[in-house]
Chains A and B, each alone.
Chain A
């Protein structure tokens, strides 16, 4: 029965062997299950794209009620934490240079006088903008906060409200994540990143390990076809991927309370196609490298750009056009769109048809390339 190109018996023999080997390699096996959980905990809690409570120094030679009003208003935003409330200008300069504070707030000695005179009072806020994302949130709230505080203090609040009402009103809805919780964005993305890392690397090692240990020569001298060998290598890792997915999804629900808006079956279908593309990509890398070391290097060569350009770490739409185009070649990019749409936005099938199609295309493309690259001889 179709023994020439594909035989279930041969595939089962290959699968059984692979599973036994996987089970005996305790450390790798533990890593495949331990890494996702550890990474999820670590990054899920650690990464914050809207940092608060940043250290600040205050340079205020005269401490009058206006100064106090401004300072308490800034502290109330949650972005500033005045670790050095009585710094001199020189001290503050040293602190920000050393990176011990992210902000230096300077309120000049004539500040109170100018407020009273109705002159244009000025305060200076210096931000350490070496990392723009640290400074951005804190600075953006600044103007209105300081102005309001001052108005309150001078008793001009009532007039201000009137003036504001007369102006145009802008209504902002932060949809899908109204509180701006970073984890809602990071945790589903982490599922993609974790899967990509473990799945591609594990399968990339699979074939090169046979070559390195000398078992490849034997395998090739026996009647197993390329399709059988590929499936035999790839399917067990699909199983490992399924376990990782279960672990991460359960944890994101129970520990991070990430909303789960869309249909489960749609999410799982997307994950399945994504993982398939990853294991076959790993196998493709495996056919292109001679040693496990090379396979590892190739994996990382692929891993880093896909991490940076996929929209996991930095906003996809914020990248220049060519970088967005480059980002399209990574399965992770499409998977992130898919999982964020399904989990956070509750998208239906039509809503994710495009990333779903892209991922399917990757599966087919990688599989064809891998089968073409696979050599049945030792040439």
Chain B
């Protein structure tokens, strides 16, 4: 990293009613990077993002976003960051063009910026449509248009693709990669694994704590999990007999196959071999997926809490 990091925050803590929703989270995002922010529902992703864009004040911790202090320079951050909220938060009783004109006015952009943005994101043909009547995919496009119109240096997207169909999701990600290639830094929260895999680096947060970070390959490797696949007619019977066996931590059926995951590779293989022989299903080794890792991390984080 030659340039200064776009986001550099450390030990952020935010409590609501005595409960730490964000618990000593430190995060660094390099300029031009697409950083994935992952975690289950209620893990503190949204709160962390709000802390970083000046919408919430941290109880502890400090840091800089685009070189501005998150505690004292919220206004400067607001001008240079594009924040896309999880819930659609534009005016449903305004048309696409009116919403964009409103945003342009607040950032004091020339009104030509509206036409440019409409064209840029393929919204021109629908500009007269009320935002409330748009489908999920178009709403998301409008929201994206509104938060990149003022040419921010950093985008923070909070679960931008929730409720959006696969085609629109793909288009959306193509758009994000295009912008990143032009030098825009993006922090995107999601709980879709395929989206996580499209990020340069991922940060996994669970129960307010950051529990894993790195590239997808690094996170999978660091988890140190072994995965075996059972295949054949008796997999549902095999699933039952595997439960509680030494080394077996996750059992997930995928159609006619069964993914069995565990930390202790030797014990897992031995248990799986025995059950496979008993039930007559085929056993093979497989690559551990990001999803397996996340489910494992979720379980561990929960154990730590209780």
Chain A residues at the B interface, C-beta cutoff of 8 Å: 3-4, 7, 9-10, 12-14, 16-17, 20-21, 24-25, 213-218, 220-224, 376-379
Contacts and interface: CB of A to CB of B under 8 A. Distances in A.
Interface string B98-142: 100111111110000000000000000000000000000000000
A215 B55 contact: no
Contacts of B91: 17, 21, 215
A223 to B, nearest CB: 5
A13 B106 contact: yes
Interface of B: 50, 53-57, 74-75, 78-79, 81, 83, 85, 87-94, 98, 101-108
A9 B85 contact: no
B88 A214 contact: yes
A378 B108 contact: no
B58 to A, nearest CB: 10
B98 A17 contact: yes
Contacts, number: 79
A217 B98 contact: no
B104 A377 contact: no
A217 B106 contact: no
Contacts of B92: 213
A377 B106 contact: no
A376 B93 CA distance: 24
B57 A379 contact: yes
A10 B102 contact: no
A236 B286 CA distance: 65
Contact of B101 (A13, A21, A377): A13
Given A218-B85, A377-B55, A224 B90 contact: no
Contact of A223 (B50, B56, B78, B90): B78
Nearest to B92: A213
19 contacts: A7-B108, A13-B102, A13-B104, A14-B105, A16-B101, A16-B105, A17-B91, A24-B93, A213-B92, A214-B88, A214-B89, A215-B89, A216-B89, A217-B55, A217-B89, A218-B83, A220-B55, A221-B54, A379-B57
B88 to A, nearest CB: 7
A13 B87 CA distance: 23
A205 to B, nearest CB: 14
Contacts of A223: 75, 78-79, 106-107
Given A20-B98, A376-B74, A10 B87 contact: no
A220 B54 CA distance: 9
A377 B57 contact: yes
Contacts of A224: 106
A317 to B, nearest CB: 48
A221 B83 contact: yes
A3 B78 CA distance: 14
B104 A221 contact: no
A3 B108 contact: yes
Contacts of A14: 102, 105-106
